[in-house]
């Protein structure tokens, strides 16, 4: 781990995130089965080697009894995971309420769900208190496992209160905080009732990271406008103490995808898919079924394309793989029915007895099936309305070694800043523009495809998840060392 300069010693790292990278199923009073779960952060950190990392987080299940808690703790220890146990009430208020109903839509510029707006305003205080209590529970687990010199890396909007809890306990802890979503413009952020308390807590971290310079800039301007603090090129200064703020664009473990494509079973699957869709171009969407991913807008744009280009009917198929998420939330249930309805209508309108233009699956695919799909696809459609980065666009490029497929990418995804020169950038709200881009992508000449792909492939294979994590941890160590030096002078 050269760049940390640790001379052969591994850096101990405590990764604290709302969810552990496993799904846990109880098989008996004291027996659990564990499975590594899909998700952006998981994919990124799977690529990080050479650190002695442990994860601290919630396992996503309610375990009210001590026998169950002890058994789960033991099982998780084998996967280098440490659980935080949250009861149902706190999950309801902290996770479903404050995190997913307030911060998630706000950070993605979606506002609050229309019919819930007043209820949300009324419940706000109790949900924020639960949020703080939950963050304190994560902090308590960190204290139990902390050793001097450890780096503590807090992740995402669920844990904005954690840096303060940690520093209040021990000012010498090295604390970094990284946001995986966008940080919105200060004009949006300042509508949040708890805006100051959250900013002040995040500023307790030594290093604060975002995917893009724009998000970092929005954060600094929220601190200057709301807290009246001074923004400097390095970050935010408060009474002589500097919190470093910077952009650390995430990547993927591209080698893992390349290796998968060499596996016999994956090659077989690629052949089957190629055979199955012979004579048709394949377009692909892979998303969590979330409002921010713009799935209805994407499908409507595809409909417009079919409407305006009848010569393409029967010659192109859209495969939309959408993992259901937050299925107990009415807003998400509504989104699922809306997507099903649009897909049904379009298939009814443009389908034939032997083929339909859209295959929509409400499910997750295993890693190898996903790689095979990425590999056979001619065009990937990523039309997020807002997205912190979007790793699907990176994964697609990594699996497109020989095919040189085209990426259509929303300008509102963080990835637009890194893959913008190779992708066709679109405004996902403008379905005419997206429909035109579909035609452009499907008819693009090989030279242009090659040029665009080369740009993206070079980026994805050199800006990896491992680089991202190394750079963040390295910068955190340096920031703390510099601050100590300044204090001594």
Q: Which residue ranges make up the site for ligand ADQ (CB under 6 A)?
A: 38-41, 43-44, 180-181, 250, 286-288, 321, 323, 364-365, 370, 387-392, 395
**Pick 82 or 391: Cβ nearer ligand ADQ:** 391
Question: Shortest Cβ distance from residue 396 to ligand ADQ (Å)?
Answer: 9
**Pick 292 or 379: Cβ nearer ligand ADQ:** 292
**Pick 48 or 71: Cβ nearer ligand ADQ:** 48
**Pick 309 or 417: Cβ nearer ligand ADQ:** 417
Question: Shortest Cβ distance from residue 386 to ligand ADQ (Å)?
Answer: 8
- CB count in 10 Å sphere of residue 272: 12
Question: Shortest Cβ distance from residue 109 to ligand ADQ (Å)?
Answer: 13
Question: Shortest Cβ distance from residue 60 to ligand ADQ (Å)?
Answer: 15
Question: Shortest Cβ distance from residue 405 to ligand ADQ (Å)?
Answer: 16
Of the candidates 434, 425, 395, the residue with the CA atom closest to the CA atom of residue 298: 434
Of the candidates 172, 165, 185, the residue with the CA atom closest to the CA atom of residue 412: 185
Would you give the distance in Å from CA 381 to the centre of its chain? Answer: 17
Diameter of the chain by CA atoms? 79
Question: Shortest Cβ distance from residue 375 to ligand ADQ (Å)?
Answer: 14
Q: How far apart are CA 228 and CA 218, in angstroms?
A: 14
Angle of helix 367-376 relative to helix 391-398, nearest 10 degrees, comes to 70
Question: Shortest Cβ distance from residue 409 to ligand ADQ (Å)?
Answer: 12
Residue nearest to ligand ADQ (CB): 40
**Pick 132 or 360: Cβ nearer ligand ADQ:** 360
Contact between 422 and 460 (Cβ < 8 Å): no
**Pick 291 or 342: Cβ nearer ligand ADQ:** 291
Question: Shortest Cβ distance from residue 414 to ligand ADQ (Å)?
Answer: 6
Strand 31-36 vs strand 174-178: parallel, antiparallel, or unpaired? unpaired
The CA R_g of the chain, rounded to the nearest whole Å, is 23
Contact between 84 and 138 (Cβ < 8 Å): yes
**Pick 395 or 436: Cβ nearer ligand ADQ:** 395
Q: How far apart are CA 443 and CA 298, in angstroms?
A: 19
Question: Shortest Cβ distance from residue 211 to ligand ADQ (Å)?
Answer: 7
Question: Shortest Cβ distance from residue 31 to ligand ADQ (Å)?
Answer: 27
**Pick 245 or 389: Cβ nearer ligand ADQ:** 389
Q: How far apart are CA 343 and CA 361, in angstroms?
A: 11
Question: Shortest Cβ distance from residue 44 to ligand ADQ (Å)?
Answer: 6
**Pick 460 or 480: Cβ nearer ligand ADQ:** 460
**Pick 41 or 203: Cβ nearer ligand ADQ:** 41
Q: How far apart are CA 382 and CA 150, in angstroms?
A: 38
Strand 241-247 vs strand 235-238: parallel, antiparallel, or unpaired? antiparallel
**Pick 181 or 306: Cβ nearer ligand ADQ:** 181
Question: Shortest Cβ distance from residue 395 to ligand ADQ (Å)?
Answer: 5
**Pick 30 or 362: Cβ nearer ligand ADQ:** 362
Q: Per DSSP, what are the bridge partners of residue 153?
A: 15, 176
């Amino acid at each position: 781990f050269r760049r940390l300069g640790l001379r052969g010693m591994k850096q101990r790292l405590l990764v604290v995130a709302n969810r552990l990278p496993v799904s846990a199923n109880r098989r008996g009073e004291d027996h659990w089965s564990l499975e590594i779960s899909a998700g952006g952060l998981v994919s990124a950190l799977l690529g990080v080697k050479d650190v002695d990392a442990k994860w601290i987080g919630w396992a996503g299940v309610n375990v009210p009894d001590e026998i169950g808690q002890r058994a789960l703790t033991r099982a998780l220890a084998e996967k280098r995971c440490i659980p935080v146990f949250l009861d149902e009430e706190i999950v309801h208020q902290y996770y479903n309420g404050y995190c997913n109903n307030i911060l998630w839509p706000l950070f993605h510029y979606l506002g609050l769900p229309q019919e819930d707006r007043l209820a949300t305003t009324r419940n706000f205080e109790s949900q924020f208190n639960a949020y703080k209590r939950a963050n304190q529970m994560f902090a308590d687990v960190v204290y139990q496992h902390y050793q001097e010199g450890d780096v503590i890396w807090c992740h995402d909007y669920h844990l904005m209160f954690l840096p303060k809890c940690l520093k209040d306990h021990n000012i010498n802890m090295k604390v970094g905080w990284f946001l995986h979503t966008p940080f919105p413009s200060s004009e949006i952020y300042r509508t949040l009732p708890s805006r100051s308390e959250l900013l002040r807590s995040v500023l307790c971290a030594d290093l604060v990271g975002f995917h893009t310079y724009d998000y970092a800039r929005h954060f600094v301007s929220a601190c200057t406008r709301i807290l009246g603090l001074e923004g400097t090129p390095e970050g935010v200064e408060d009474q002589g103490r500097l919190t470093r703020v910077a952009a650390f664009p995430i990547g993927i473990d591209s080698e893992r995808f390349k290796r998968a494509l060499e596996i016999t079973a994956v090659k077989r699957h690629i052949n089957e898919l190629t055979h199955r869709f012979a004579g048709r171009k394949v377009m692909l969407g892979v998303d969590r079924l979330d409002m921010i991913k713009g799935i209805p807008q994407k499908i409507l744009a595809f409909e417009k394309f079919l409407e305006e280009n009848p010569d393409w009917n029967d010659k192109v198929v859209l495969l939309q793989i959408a993992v259901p998420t937050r299925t107990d939330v009415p807003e998400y249930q509504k989104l699922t029915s809306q997507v099903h309805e649009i897909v049904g209508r379009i298939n009814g309108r443009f389908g034939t007895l032997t083929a339909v233009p859209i295959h929509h699956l409400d499910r997750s695919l295993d890693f190898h099936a996903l790689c095979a799909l990425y590999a056979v696809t001619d065009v990937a459609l990523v039309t997020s309305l807002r997205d912190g980065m979007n790793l699907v666009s990176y994964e697609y490029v990594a699996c497109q070694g020989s095919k040189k497929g085209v990426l259509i990418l929303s300008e509102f995804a963080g990835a637009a800043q890194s893959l913008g020169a190779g992708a066709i950038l679109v405004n996902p709200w403008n379905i005419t523009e997206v429909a035109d881009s579909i035609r452009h992508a499907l008819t693009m000449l090989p030279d242009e495809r090659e040029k665009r792909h080369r740009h993206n492939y070079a980026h994805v294979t050199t800006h990896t998840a491992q680089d991202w994590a190394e750079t963040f941890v390295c910068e955190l160590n340096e920031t703390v060392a510099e601050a100590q030096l300044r204090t001594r002078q």
